[in-house]
Amino acid sequence: MLCACPEPVEGFSVVKNSMSNFWKSARRWLPGVLISLAVIAVILYFVDLRRLAEAIRSADYRLLLASLTISVGWLAVRGLVWRTLLRERASYRDVFLTLCEGYLLNNFLPFRLGEFGRAFLLGRKSGLGFMEILPTIVIERVLDLAFSAAILLSAVPFVVGAAGAEQVAYIVGGVMLVGLVALYFLARYRDWAMRQFDRLSKRWPRLHKRGGNFLESMFSGLTILMDGWLFVRALFWMTLNWAIAILQFYLALLAFFPHAQPMWAMFGLGAAAFGGAIPSLPGAVGTYEGALGGALALVTGDQATSLATALIVHLFSYLVYGILGTYALSTEGETLMGVYRQLRKRQEEPGRDSGQ
């Protein structure tokens, strides 16, 4: 005798909920995947892969090795930038190793979890709150885009046929400047901002409590903008950091184009920064090569060799961040997937918005 059992209905419900959760998640990662795949398809269609392979074989590997070595120095100075923004409340060793871990996470995990991973991992080491650390990463990224816009603007007059990039640089630079000014005023008038939030959120007690904790921690992290001397120091280290990046990339460019000009390196780096900022697969796969290779093709007229340069430079970042980031995680007994699971769990736990 057969009986009607509820399991199939429950099973259908589980599958339905799983599919619903999948599509909710897909809204976040699918656009980046599609953009990266589209760029990769365009690259494969237009670039001669045989010439690409020949360009890689004929490169000057002595210059590439020098560029790779300098990239470690770039990371060391970037650690000074972040530690200054943190008002030196964490040791340099912890900051540097966490920076390497964050870049490793960004190269392999979706949703740019490396940025949140940096705040999460450094918070465990230093005792600082998650939302005290995260604003310093936001400020660092804003400064990065402002510098990249300025560098791109400086190079555009020397680059033929790149007038469109000038408009993009002005727009992005302006948006970043407005964002930085907005952060400054939030830090300066934090009491007023908190009063406005309290007044507007009282009818929603849960939002009032959790949002208030969130904003208190965030404003604490933004106080770097109120310390003029400390912020000048951060700008100094950031300027040195970008100067090293230009030198590093110029050496890599010379390995493929012996007659390359420094302005080509500046133009390429500025374009690559914007390519890395748009939605994509983890590590800006496809978009980085498209932006950097496309920018270099404008000034060299050689698509295959330009793409070869972009591929090698991107590979170097994976190599350096992979080795140093894996070492940093291993010293803490962590793995890439272990940190990923902790970050996902942290996002799902209620009451963690404040980062405490």
pLDDT in tens, 168-220: 556 666 766 777 677 777 777 777 877 877 777 777 777 766 666 667 666 66
In a domain, 21, yes or no: no
- Counted domains in the chain: 1
In a domain, 72, yes or no: yes
In a domain, 203, yes or no: yes
Report the candidate in 268, 241, 234, 240 with the shortest Cα–Cα distance to residue 254.
268
In a domain, 282, yes or no: yes
Q: What is the pTM of this model?
A: 0.77
In a domain, 322, yes or no: yes
> Which domain range does residue 249 map to?
42-348
Report the candidate in 296, 276, 298, 299 with the shortest Cα–Cα distance to residue 287.
276
In a domain, 3, yes or no: no
**Helix, strand, coil percentages in the chain from 3-state DSSP, rounded to 5:** 85, 0, 15
In a domain, 176, yes or no: yes
End-to-end, the C-alpha distance of the chain in Å comes to 58
Compute the average pLDDT of residues 241-260.
95
In a domain, 19, yes or no: no
CB atoms within 10 A of CB 268: 33
Instruction: Determine the residue type at 156.
Output: V
Structure tokens at 209: 């409590």
Report the candidate in 182, 166, 212 with the shortest Cα–Cα distance to residue 355.
212
> What pLDDT band is residue 320 in, cutting at 50, 70 and 90?
very high
